Amino acid sequence: MVHFLIVLGLVASLFFGLACMSIHIHSKWHHQHGVTLPIRRWLVNEPTGTRYTMPHLIYQVWLNFVGAAVGWIAIIVLYQDLAAQPIGRMVNALTWSHWGLGLVGFVGMVGWLPATLSGLVNSLTVLGKAISDWLTSKLVS
């Protein structure tokens, strides 16, 4: 079963990596150009109409592939750990790390891990700025 999950995870990660740009294209473009978009639409930034640069495309493919792969690795580790437990004690063996692996696995498998991590970093940056501004206002007054 583990080998099946590894192959499935690799195929799904490759799909998320290689199809990332067409996945993120807005649905109005799909309606205008049919179900399958030509490659030139895959390379065009839809809001501005400008072409994506090659480094941007490579970064997006890499980021989405790694995000999905991390999710699948988390699911495989979770599966192996829980499969090692006796049948009747599987639920009793659940720990917070299992729930964390399950969450990371789910978010990665569905392709949301890069956006989730980006949002988390942006939120922490805004929080740090707000705390810094608050402390500065308290020290000045």
Q: What is the 3-state secondary structure (H, E, C) of 81-134?
A: HHHCCCHHHCCCCCCHHHHHHHHHHHHHHCCCHHHHHHHHHHHHHHHHHHHHHH
Q: Which of 88, 65, 83, 54 is nearest to 18 (CA)?
A: 65
Q: Mind listing the pLDDT tens digit for each residue in 64-84?
A: 899 999 999 999 999 998 888
Given pLDDT bands bounded at 50, 70 and 90, which one contains residue 89? confident
Please determine, for residue 140, whether its predicted confidence score (pLDDT) is greater than 70.
yes
What predicted TM-score, i.e. pTM, was given to this entire model?
Answer: 0.71
Q: Mind listing the pLDDT tens digit for each residue in 15-70?
A: 888 777 766 655 555 555 555 555 555 566 555 666 667 787 788 888 889 999 99
Angle between helices 96-109 and 113-140 (to 10 degrees): 110
Give the pLDDT of residue 30: 52
The residue ranking higher by pLDDT, 13 or 57, is: 13
CA gap 70, 64 in Å, rounded: 10
CA gap 40, 1 in Å, rounded: 40
Mean pLDDT of the chain: 81
Q: What are the residue boundaries of the structural domains of the chain, listed by start?
A: 2-140
